[in-house]
């Protein structure tokens, strides 16, 4: 699903969620000067699912749009601010291609670094902007990191290829989201969340200690070792990925 489709879906769902029932209290804007006053402690657990957009940066780097699911723990003790801890998994693939310089030990070809799944851990603040008795609209900045798993390095040359596994990569991420939470009952609710994740490492960093090797049907020699592939790739680009999720909330207190 594309970013415009995510945004359209979010606006439709947010609009439906914001329609008050005849007996509902009118919405009220949270006074920013009173947002940090103490309030009774609240806590809730949530499971969610949705989608994440892909991104393409030049000819070398791309990520694919895929689905996602995750869990969130939210707690609060202030009137206008909550905090949340999140874990999200996606089968999104990310790939980065580089062309190494000519070498007498290697055939002329390309290197492909690929990650086949994405694990994100991040924390957020939730600033409640508009509240009613049964719903709230919030803005939510956060920070965390992405772990790009099931990574491999592949050497491609005309008519042949050889691959080997490499260590997972991690990257610092920042995110900014907005959403609506609706509570049809005291202990059960729903969340519609639209969020942009800015990742500083794409498929994750490749440190100077990264070593990979693989058997090659290419004489001579029959086995080649590439030390420190990072110079071939250069700096892995910053990318944006937008997520839209629908969550089921279980309110603990």
Task: Look at the domain 3-251 and name its fold.
Answer: Porin (2.40.160)
Strands (E), the chain: 28-29, 38-52, 55-57, 61-63, 66-78, 81-90, 94-98, 110-131, 135-157, 160-165, 169-182, 188-199, 211-215, 223-227, 239-251
For position 201, what pLDDT does the model report?
60
Q: What pLDDT, on a 0 to 100 scale, did the predictor assign at position 170?
A: 82
Task: Please report, in tens digits, the pLDDT of each residue of the chain (253 residues total).
Answer: 444 454 555 545 554 544 454 445 566 777 666 777 888 999 999 999 999 998 888 778 888 899 999 999 999 998 889 999 999 999 998 888 887 777 666 667 788 888 889 999 999 999 999 988 889 999 999 999 888 888 888 877 777 777 777 777 788 899 999 999 999 998 999 999 999 999 876 555 554 444 444 433 343 444 555 555 666 776 677 788 899 999 999 999 8
Give the residue among 169, 179, 164, 135 at the shortest CA–CA distance from 149. 169
Bridge pairing between strands 66-78 and 94-98: unpaired
User: Quick one: pLDDT at residue 22?
Assistant: 45
pTM: 0.79
Nearest alpha carbon to residue 15 among 182, 184, 245, 248? 182
Listed by start position, the domains of the chain span: 3-251
C-alpha–C-alpha distance, residues 249 and 187, integer Å: 8
Q: Give the model's pLDDT for residue 141.
A: 96
The residue count of the chain comes to 253
């Amino acid at each position: 699903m594309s970013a415009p489709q995510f945004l359209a879906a979010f606006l439709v769902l947010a609009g439906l969620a914001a329609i008050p029932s005849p007996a509902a209290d009118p919405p009220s804007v949270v006074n920013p000067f009173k947002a940090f006053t103490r309030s009774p402690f609240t806590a809730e657990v949530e499971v969610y699912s949705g989608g994440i957009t892909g991104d393409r940066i030049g000819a070398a780097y791309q990520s694919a749009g895929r689905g996602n699911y995750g869990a969130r723990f939210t707690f609060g003790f202030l009137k206008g601010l909550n905090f949340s801890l999140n874990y999200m998994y996606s089968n999104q693939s990310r790939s980065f291609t580089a062309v190494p310089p000519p070498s007498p030990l290697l055939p002329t070809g390309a290197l492909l670094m690929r990650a086949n799944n994405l694990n994100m851990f991040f924390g957020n603040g939730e600033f409640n902007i508009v509240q009613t008795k049964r719903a709230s609209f919030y803005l939510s900045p956060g920070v965390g990191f992405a772990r790009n798993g099931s990574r491999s390095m592949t050497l491609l040359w005309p008519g042949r290829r050889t691959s080997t596994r490499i260590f997972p990569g991690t990257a610092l991420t920042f995110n900014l989201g907005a959403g609506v939470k609706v509570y049809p009952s005291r202990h059960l609710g729903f969340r519609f969340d639209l969020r942009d994740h800015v990742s500083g490492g794409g498929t994750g960093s490749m440190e100077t200690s990264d070593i990979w090797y693989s058997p090659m049907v290419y004489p001579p020699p029959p086995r080649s070792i590439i030390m420190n592939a990072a110079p071939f790739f250069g700096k892995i680009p910053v990318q944006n990925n937008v997520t839209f999720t629908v969550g089921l909330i279980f309110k603990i207190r």
